[in-house]
Structure 1
Amino acid sequence: MSTFTSADANELFRAPPTRFLDTGSSGIAYRRVGAGPDVLFVHGWPVSGATFRTLLPYLVDHVTCHLIDLPGTGSSRFDAATPLSIDHHIESVRLAIDVLELDDVAVVGHDSGGMIARHAVVGDPRVRAMGLIDTEPADGVSWRFKAFLAQRRLPGFGRMLGWVASKPRLRRNGFVLGDAFVDASRLDGEFDEFFLRPLYTSSKHLEAGLRILRSFDYRYVRELAAIHPRIDVPVQLVWGEEDVFFPVGHARRMVGEFPDARIDVISNAGLFSHEERPAEVAAALLATLTGSR
């Protein structure tokens, strides 16, 4: 592992961003670390670029890591007029590649960030490879995912989400957030600091998260069936064996939908496999990200 430590990674995200990428209606928080081929990381909901902090010590000696907080998340700049939605996030990823002038880049996406990334870069000749970590499969999502999503339009859902996020014992329940990890205690500590605390201490961030969640439409998943055959670069899937939101069986079937893909399954890990088993996830990704696969 690099001399760049987990503590260094945490401080990278506690400190102000390197710069903001102007979208016209918001500012994408941007951080950069490492040396080597360029890799852009796209996070999912309800997290930010800090979710990749766990991978950085295993990657920075091999690749240049470009880390963004999509509008409405983390350190990004946004207000009530910002058009926060999945479509806006897709456009934000494209804009980041343009503004950063990344003309030979691998893209890594986790959870809905993997779905967003696939929509954003399909057919882009600047993309040399993709890494997908525990993300939406084209053949549909699990009952667990649907059950969570169904709550988003319930009256008072926002207040309930913020309140539950603030209660460690409640949020560790498997029917709340606990089954996102094999070890539900990982919802505390850094995960709470970076991702949950904003939901219960900042009405601005909670409302932004709700707006993004409510913009989700199942068509984004259905359209992946047509997108996958068009992603003609090496694709590395990395999956937590215990992921109940996107079960690994769906991921195994998804491998054959790409022209060039493979999968590594990480034992004793769930939806956030990269946070639970960062060394194994980084090892699975590196050959594809560096072009040595």
Structure 2
Amino acid sequence: MIQKSAYPVTRHQTLTVDGIKIFYREAGPKDGPTVLLLHGFPTSSHMFRNLIPYLADRYHVIAPDYPGYGQSEAPDARSFSYTFEKFGQLVDGLLHQLGVQRYAMYVMDYGAPVGWQLALKHPDAISGLIVQNGNAYDEGLKEFWDPIKIYWADGKKESRDKLLNLVTLETTIFQYTDGVSDRTRISPDNWTHDQPLLDRPGNADIQMDVMYDYRNNLPLYPKVQAWLRDKQPPTLIVWGKNDFIFPEPGAHPYKRDLKDLEFHLLDTGHFVLEDKADEVFPLIHDFLDRKVAHA
């Protein structure tokens, strides 16, 4: 009789970091190489629900939710500073409590600036890098960002209010389906999960605060690029080339700064893991096996 290997168990847990309850998913052997998964907007660690067990056969996988996202605490925007710097501090504090000092990092969308905070604070901690539609170059901020740049420039309520469409159901569905050739591959559970969380009282203000703070990531780009050149983390890029939010021009500049780079453009949109898991999951596991498992 052939004995099947055990299916990895994902544990759903919460730790208090700097007074904020941070939810995270964790799976895999704790003595294995750690892989940190950093989610994008408008979702949470939910976006990694299928990738986590795929990697957990040999990797210690951690996927947190930032405050105001998923199952983490969402303190009132009037009493809590919703910034990427703060998100980075809280994820760093979570890793410290878990005893994690070195890790590979998957960055996507908002997860990129959160990850850059960690990389700049602990430049030698990153054993490998997976970039999926996560920006680190001015070339990656195109048409989608034009109305957001107006808000960055003037900070006016009128400009802020014009961005409220970004937290509507229509836009959430758009983020999952735009640029996708076969929509039947996209589970509607994505927006029926994300949208009720976006619709929580006060959450629109949280999202607008985060959107406004994104402007503070741009001055960090030269420092991030210098870190890439200096530390040369082995890097895998798996980028949805049809993404309107973080379009293909944001992917290519990584080639300027990285030598050990594996580069893949996929025929899909923003959330690559949703419709291209059959292509991307093996690329990620193989990359980690070759570049991180013994690092």
The TM-score bracket by the shorter chain reads 0.7 to 0.9
After the TM superposition, which of the residue ranges 113-122 and 60-69 deviates more from structure 2?
A: 113-122
Closer, same or farther: CA 131–171 of 1 in aligned 2, 3 Å: closer
1:58 aligns with 2:54: yes
Q: How does 1:116-135 map to 2 (within 5 A)?
A: 116-122=114-120, 123-135=122-134
Letter in 2 for 1:18: Q
| SS of the residue 1:106 aligns to | strand
Stretches of structure 2 lacking an aligned partner (at least 5 in a row): 152-156
Contact residue 176 and residue 270 of structure 2 kept, 8 A: no
Post-superposition shift, 1:126? 2.9
Q: Where does residue 190 of structure 1 map in the other structure?
A: 189
- Residue 232 of structure 1 and its aligned partner are, at CA, apart by 2.7
Q: 1:139 to 1:29 in 2, by over 3 A?
A: same
Aligned-partner residue type, residue 95 of structure 1: G
- Residue 181 of structure 1 contacts residue 272 of structure 1 at CA under 8 Å; is this kept in 2? no
Measure, in 2, the Cα distance between the counterparts of 1:157 and 1:27. Answer: 31
Q: Distance in 2 between matches of 1:279 and 1:186?
A: 11
- Distance in 1 between residues matched to 2:186 and 2:74, nearest whole Å: 26
Q: Which of 7, 12, 27 is equivalent to 2:21? A: 27
- The answer on whether the counterparts of 1:198 and 1:206 sit within 8 Å (CA) in structure 2 is no
C-alpha distance in 2, partners of 1:140/1:242?
15
2:84 matched to which residue of 1?
86
Correspondent of 1:76 among 57, 72, 76 = 72
Question: What's the CA shift for 1:239?
Answer: 1.0
Q: 1:262 Cα shift?
A: 2.0
Residues 135 and 246 in structure 1, CA contact (< 8 A), matched pair in contact too: yes
From the superposition, tell whether residues 171 and 233 of structure 1 become closer, same or farther in structure 2 (CA, over 3 Å): closer
AA matched with 2:256: G
**Taking structure 1 as reference, are residues 86 and 181 closer, same or farther at Cα in structure 2, changes over 3 Å only?**
farther
| Contact kept in structure 1, 2:39 and 2:110, CA below 8 Å | yes
The Cα shift of 1:135 comes to: 0.9
Q: 1:101 to 1:214 in 2, by over 3 A?
A: same
CA spacing shift, 1:140–1:220, aligned 2, 3 Å: farther
Shift of 1:181: 4.4
Taking structure 1 as the reference length, the TM-score comes to 0.80
Residues 158-237 of structure 1 aligned to structure 2 (within 5 Å): 160-162=165-167, 164-165=168-169, 167=170, 172=173, 178-179=177-178, 181-183=180-182, 189-200=188-199, 202-217=200-215, 218-237=218-237
Partners in 1 of 2:291 and 2:187 — Cα distance?
Answer: 37
Question: For residue 44 of structure 1, what is the aligned residue in structure 2?
Answer: 40
Alignment check: 8 A CA contact 2:173 2:191 kept: no
Give, as a single letter, the amino acid of the residue that structure 2 aligns with 1:111: D
Greater mean alpha carbon deviation, residues 243-252 or residues 77-86? 243-252
Aligned residue for 1:111?
A: 109
8 Å Cα contact 1:73/1:208 also seen in 2: no
Q: Which runs of 5+ in 1 are unaligned?
A: none
Any conservation in 1 of the 2:160–2:208 contact (CA below 8 Å)?
no
Decide whether the 8 Å contact of 2:84 with 2:113 is kept in 1: no
Classify the secondary structure of the residue corresponding to 1:111: coil
Is the CA contact 2:136–2:224 (under 8 Å) kept in the aligned structure 1?
yes
| 1:50 partner letter | H
Q: Which residue matches 1:254?
A: 254
Q: CA RMSD in A?
A: 3.1
Residue of structure 1 aligned with 2:161, choices 140, 143, 156? 156
> What's the offset of the Cα at 1:177?
7.0
Cα gap change, 1:148/1:237 in structure 2, threshold over 3 Å: closer, same or farther?
Answer: farther
Deviation at 1:69, TM superposition (A): 0.3
Q: Which residue of 2 aligns with 1:140?
A: 139
SS where residue 74 of structure 1 aligns?
coil
Q: How far is the alpha carbon of 1:136 from its aligned partner?
A: 0.7
* TM-superposition CA deviations, 1:194-216 (whole Å, max 9, x none): 3222223x123333222211211
3-state SS, counterpart of residue 216 of structure 1:
helix
Could you tell me which amino acid in structure 1 is paired with residue 270 of structure 2? L
**What is the CA-CA distance between 1:291 and the residue it aligns to?**
4.6
User: Offset at 1:258?
Assistant: 2.2
Deviation at 1:150, TM superposition (A): 4.3
Q: 1:181 to 1:213 in 2, by over 3 A?
A: farther
Deviation at 1:83, TM superposition (A): 1.5
- Shift, 1:237, TM fit: 1.3
The 1:61/1:155 distance shift into structure 2, 3 A limit, reads closer
Q: Which AA in structure 1 matches 2:139?
A: G
- Give the 3-state SS of the residue equivalent to 1:215 in structure 2: helix
Q: What's the counterpart of residue 279 of structure 2?
A: 280
Displacement of 1:223 in angstroms is 4.2
CA distance in 1, matches of 2:16, 2:289: 25
Q: Classify 1:182/1:47 alpha carbon distance in 2 versus 1 (closer, same or farther; 3 Å).
A: farther
